Structures are given as structure tokens and as C-alpha cells.
Amino acid sequence: MASKLFFLIPISLSLLLPFYSTPCLGDVPPSPSSPVSPRTLCKTLPDPSYCKSVLPNQTANVFEYGRFSVRKSLSQTRKFLKLVEKYLNHRSTLSTGAVRALQDCEQLATLNIDFLLSSYQTLGATNSTLGTVKADDVQTFLSAIITNVQTCLDGIQTTASDWSIKNGISVPLSNDTKLFSVSLALFTKAWVPKRSKRRITMELTSEQQKFRDGNLQLFMSSRARSIYESVSRSRKLLQKTTVGNNSLLVSDMVTVSKKKGVGNFTNINDAIAAAPNNTDGTNGYFMVYVKAGLYNEYVSIPKNKNYLMMVGDGIHKTIMVGNRSVADNWTTFNSATFAVVAPNFVAVNITFRNTAGAIKHQAVAVRNGADLSTFYRCSFEGYQDTLYAHSLRQFYRECDIYGTVDFIFGNAAAVFQNCNIYPLQPMNGQFNAITAQGRTDPNQNTGTSIQNCTIKAAHELASSNYTVQTFLGRPWKNYSRTVIMQSSLDKYIDPAGWQIWDGDFALSTLYYAEYNNRGKGSNTTNRVKWPGYHIINATEASNFTVANFLDGDVWIRQTLVPYSSGLV
């Protein structure tokens, strides 16, 4: 566990009004506490027929139905995990692709059990609406559960050549997805505060405004900045670094160096293994300082390594490299050079690279499924599917992201702020799609928000005579949601702005929006005319800011990473 910020600036959580951009479907009973028949209740949910088939045939209130659905979801997830383990016990009879896809499903089902247990503990404690932060936590977990199931299903269908596996896994997964959707919908009806779905950006005190604007000179002393920019070699890093009333605590620190005898470890995974398990942040971050060098290893940070901060010597200095791809029989999920699921993870000054190349198609540099995670001044380098913002809540600041097809994708609630996004030269016949957001359920609080970023063709594309269409995104899943706001878009952005996935798929259910962008590619005159595309105003755009979309004022501050809370 490492450093922690203590803020004396008073912040009332009552100011952080909830944002759930997609309302529940239909009408609700006068009160979630009022008895209602399952038939009446299910009419208001996305799949009434399935809902009626799983809820008990008795009159109850929405709280009781919600707890029942979450309990059933937990039971079904445990059954599914046993099914996956049964298949894996006979892995010698399975194809390599099937084994890898099943291993993904095993990991994802284990995470889902954790999320469901945590959610049920919260829901079992009250028959009233939750506070903003707690409600967002549970909605985030229930949203991630659906994402994890979809990821498992995608991997099985794409990678497993064994038809018995595909059939044996796909049917229960399909039913489980419907069940989890019921649980999420009931949660939003019963426990989410019934306030306005649209929030205005909260008023900030002058001191909060200074922090919001990310003024490093004001809030970070030279010693604090050194943690991010060069990392002192002395054990002084273990002392409290104080910046006014704000402190970054480092509980312990290890150093990774390619040169033997220089650091504590010569590879990154060994350093991660040395971090304490299941810490709560009280004593700060466990810091892994990775010295400059090329690290050819696949790094994975498991769920029990909470509050881990990884700091390099800078972009293009500390570099992690891998070359896994779907073409080489990996799932998209496990093709990542670097993967993290541990909550409250922070990465600073590191390049993450997948060198498989455009010809190998899906090849992930970073897969991020870590809740409340932050990447600051990092570079993500690949071609198709470079950055897999998989699930939960994520923040990226002053990062460089390179790619071709769908190179920022996934179903997290993710905000990219002050980043540089560089479309590359794709293969002949391909177009560039910057985003492919994967929201599958109207009640998921997920989406991609790109704010005050620069979208500019990389040198190899800008200097090419080959004409390539570059789009802001395309809808990977039915409720795909992406907002581009206050960003600079260069001339290489296609005038239509957005591209289809397949025919008219998701064009009515997606939510794509632009607000107050600049540059030659920002002209919206010839943008697509889809029902789900919007040119929005400041009030709508504020829903997708750090404060409103991520509740970022609650958790990003402790990282000392600068950020803008609202619109800039």
C-alpha cells in the first residue's frame, strides 16, 4: 500500500448528484417499498417475458425482488464457474483456443462472484435508496458483471473451435446475461436516488478550482513531482511526501531494473508478487519503480494487489513489450501485454506496447479491468485493439494512444483527458476507427468520454499518399456510448465522423455525441444522421466529465494526478 492524500478541503457529497444517463424503462410503482406483482413489475424491464420466468410468483416490493435476483445471479455464477472448471479438468482433449477462452471465463466468473457478494451485502442492509457514491459503486459492479459475461461469450465464440464447448457454454451464458440484466434494472429502480438524471457541474471553491485545473506547481512540491517524473533512488520515498495539507503516502517501495544488482528485482511480475494482498489504502500505495529498459514480459496485476502504483522513467524509456494476437490463437482478452484488475491502480511514465502489427488484427497492449484506476503520462502502442478499457471506472490523463481499428475499446466508464490520440496507417482496405465502445445494457453506467484531447494522424499516416478514412468510432455493441468533447480533431477525421458496424446495427440505440470540438475535423455539417447521434450542449456534456461520469472527485485526488473535474 502506498501513498495517500489527506484533503482538508471540505467537500459535501451532497454536491455530487447522481448521473445515470439512461433511465429505467417504463413506470415504477409509487414507491419501491409498495407491493407489486411480478407481472406488473416485469412490464417495466427490458425483457418482460424472461423477467417473469425468474422472479418468484408472489407479490413483493422491488427491494425484495432485487435481492432475490442478485441472490439467484450469485447462485448461477457459481454453477457456471463449476461448469467451466469441469471443462478445464479435461483440457488435454481441448484445443488451445478453447482452453484459453475457458481460462478467461474462469477468471471473469471469479470476479463476478466477488462483485455479486459485495453488491448483495450492500443491498441486504437497506430498504431505502443509497447515497450517491454507494449507488455508483453497486451499479458499476452490476454493470461489470454483464460485461464480464459478454467477454467470456465473445472469447468462446471467436477462439474455441470445439463445438461442444461453444454450445455448452453459450446457452447458460445467454440465460445468465438476461438474469444479470434483470438484477441491474431492479437495482436502478429500487436503490438509485430518484433525482434528475442530468447534473450540472458542481460549484467549486477557489481552492478546489485550483486543484481541478491540475496545477502541479501549486499542489506538488519538487519531491512529490519526483515520484512521477524521475523517482528518487533514495529510501526517502518511504517518508510522507507533504504538499500543503495533501500527502502522498508510500507504504513500501521496490525497484525493478534489467541490470542485476541494481534493483530489488529484474522482472516486473516478481515485484508485483512482493506487494501485500488486499490492502485498504490506509497506509498508502505499494510503489513499484520500473527503471528505464525494455521489458519483454507479460505483466498481470491480480485482483488482490490493491493500491499498487507503478512508476517508470518516462514514455519511451520504461517500455513493456509483447506480441500476442488473436491471429496466433489468443483471445482478445488474454492477448494483452499488460493486464490489471486490482482496484485503485496507478501507472505513471510507462510505455505499453504490442508489436504483433496490423497484419495480426486484434492485439492488445493494455487490458484494464481495474476499478478506480488511473494512467498518467503513459503511452499505449499497437494497431487493432490497442487499449482495452474493459470494465469499471478508469481515468487517463496526458497519455499517448496509437492504433488503427477500434484501438480504444471496451465497456468501462472511462474518461480520457488531455491525451494525444494518434491514428496509424492500417492495412490496405482497412479504415481507422478510434473507438469501439461495448455497452450492451441500457442500465449500464458505462461509456467512453474523450475530453480536451488531440486527435491527430501519426507521422506514418500523415506522410502517406495512401488515403485512409478515419472515424471517431463505431458501435461494437447495441448501446455503444461515446462522447467527444472540447477536443482538437485534425483534417484526417472523415466528415461523416462515425462509421457503421454492420448495416443498421445499433444506430437507434447507441449514444454518440460531440460538443465544442475544434480543428478541421470538427465540422459537424456532414456528420451521420443516425437517431443515436447528437450534437450536445454544455449541460449534456457535463454529464460526461470526471466529476459526474466517474465521481472522480472522490477518488482521483489521492493519486496526485492532475485533472479537470468539469468542463474546461
Dihedral of the CA atoms 103, 109, 114, 118 (nearest 10)? 160
Q: Which residues have C-beta within 8 Å of that of residue 55, sequence separation ≥ 6?
A: 38, 41, 42, 65, 68, 69, 182
Within 13 A of 59's CA, how many CA atoms are on the CB side? 6
Active site residue 406: yes
Dihedral of the CA atoms 172, 143, 277, 75 (nearest 10)? -30
Q: Which three cell numbers stand for residue 282?
A: 490506509
* Catalytic pick among 137, 406, 441, 553: 406
Cα–Cα distance measured from residue 388 to residue 40, given in angstroms and rounded to the nearest whole number: 39
Q: Which residues have C-beta within 8 Å of that of residue 497, sequence separation ≥ 6?
A: 471, 472, 514, 524, 527, 528, 533
Of the candidates 177, 81, 114, 150, the one whose C-alpha atom is nearest the C-alpha of residue 342 is: 114
Q: Which residues have C-beta within 8 Å of that of residue 507, sequence separation ≥ 6?
A: 475, 500, 530, 531, 532
Q: What is the DSSP letter of 521?
A: G
Q: How far apart are the first and last CA of the chain?
A: 33
Q: Which three cell numbers stand for residue 482?
A: 461515446
Find the length of the chain: 568
Please state the separation of Cα 542 from the chain's center in Å: 19
Q: Which three cell numbers stand for residue 361?
A: 488484427
Cβ neighbours of 85 (radius 10 Å): 13
In the chain, how long is the greatest CA-to-CA distance? 69
Q: What is the DSSP letter of 129?
A: P
Of the candidates 441, 436, 453, 432, the one whose C-alpha atom is nearest the C-alpha of residue 515 is: 453
Q: What is the DSSP letter of 545?
A: S
Of the candidates 464, 329, 487, the one whose C-alpha atom is nearest the C-alpha of residue 408 is: 487
Cβ neighbours of 206 (radius 10 Å): 6
Helices (H), 316-389: none
User: Which amino acid is located at 509 in the chain?
Assistant: T
Q: Which residues have C-beta within 8 Å of that of residue 349, sequence separation ≥ 6?
A: 228, 229, 311, 312, 313, 314, 315, 317, 318, 376, 377, 378
* Residues known to be catalytic: 406
